[in-house]
Amino acid sequence: MATPDLSRTTPCCQGVVPPYLLQRLASAPAERSARLDTAPSVASRTLELDDEMRRRRDSTRSTVSPTAPRGAVADRLQRTIADAKNTQTLPGDVVRTEGGEPVGDPAADESYDGLGVTHALFAEVYGWSSLDGQGLPLNATVHYGEQYDNAFWDGTRMVFGDGDGEVFTRFTVSLSVIAHELAHGFTQYTSQLEYAGQSGALNESVSDVFGVLAEQRSRGQNAEDASWLVGEGLFLPDVQGSALRSMLAPGTAYDDDVLGKDPQPADMAGYVETTEDNGGVHINSGIPNRAFAEAAVALGGPAWDRLGQVWFDALTSGSLTPTADFAAFSAATVAAASARYGTGSDVYRAVVGGWTTVGLEPAGTGSASDAADEASKRT
């Protein structure tokens, strides 16, 4: 595989919390944010810090190697957890390494466990060693910044904030967040989707997909029983919301007097044309998210198994360009479903149906019902 161009593919410091949500919190009118003492100022500081980190990263991209570090051992999990001690210095002081006992710090221990669960998903289900397929060591830093309201993958490691204590709790509390950010590394080393426009929304969606799959697998949940929420548990009790995003029902994750209503569209009819957030990478990710979730529920059973395999196959097939749009990605997943399971399979019908539901009927497949009718003739 070609060496990834990190200047285009790495969503550095584009944290799991969308900029539009932080902007809403930072600019909340006093009468609406009266119940919040520090969250608006923390959100403002988080946005400034994210911008600063992106600029710093942009100035040093050429020195970053995307290849697996020397010493990486395929099929062996290698985790290192560091503590930034509420500074912005990375990586921080190492507090736990592979095989070490829990240290009693919830953030450090949750991140250690979350890295392990994510590694297990890729290794045990898809036969893929770590994020790069070559045993890349997994590193994370906790307690980053003062009440930092985000978590991000910086191209080499996971970084977690502690949250403001009013809207957000610590970001290690959500396994889907940990796996989401690690999955940005998987995309970095495989399909290399450019972090802008529809390819950027796909980049975000891929992270949501594998984020919830890691969480569902850890809970032993079938698709029809899962919540399909990304970042469930991050909001503190006073927030009117269940998570950052809902994959199955985009636009319903929160509806709060301060944060506003979840703006994600559920299908192409609501696609948002914008120059904000790299062309709407977080907001429009709801469309491919729903396509996956609808397909998973229609198929039933463990979503990480056959349907997750289809998405994995599409992302590692080499058929996607870095600028792939929704149409190209849907076609790649349909092709992957056909190649592995056949056009007469329930997997193929579910994939076609999922994309059709969101207004992205894959070219050459006919409608979902046509696909089902054609499949029934073959079986």
Please list the active-site residues.
181, 282
**Which letter does DSSP use for residue 239 in this model?**
S
* Strand pairing report for 151-153 and 138-142: unpaired
Q: Which residue is associated with the tokens 């709790």?
A: 169
Question: Positive or negative CA dihedral for 363, 355, 330, 313?
Answer: negative
Question: 119-126 — which CB contacts under 8 Å span 24+ positions?
Answer: 119/77, 120/217, 121/179, 121/210, 121/213, 121/214, 121/217, 121/304, 122/186, 123/75, 123/77, 125/217, 125/304, 125/305, 125/308, 125/309, 126/308, 126/309, 126/312
Cis peptide leading into 106, omega within 30 of 0? Answer: no
Direct distance between the N- and C-terminal alpha carbons of the chain, in angstroms, rounded to an integer: 38
Per-position b or e across 62-94, b if 16+ CB within 10 A of its CB: eeeebebeeebeeeebbbbbbbbeeeeeebbee
CB 350: neighbour CB atoms within 10 A? 27
CB 337 within 8 A of CB 347: yes
Provide the token pair at 158. Answer: 């996971």
d(CA 106, CA 173): 8
Provide the token pair at 64. Answer: 């970053």
Give the SS3 label for residue 81. Answer: strand
Per-position b or e across 8-32, b if 16+ CB within 10 A of its CB: bbbbbbbbbbbbbbbebbbebeeee
Residue type, 9: T
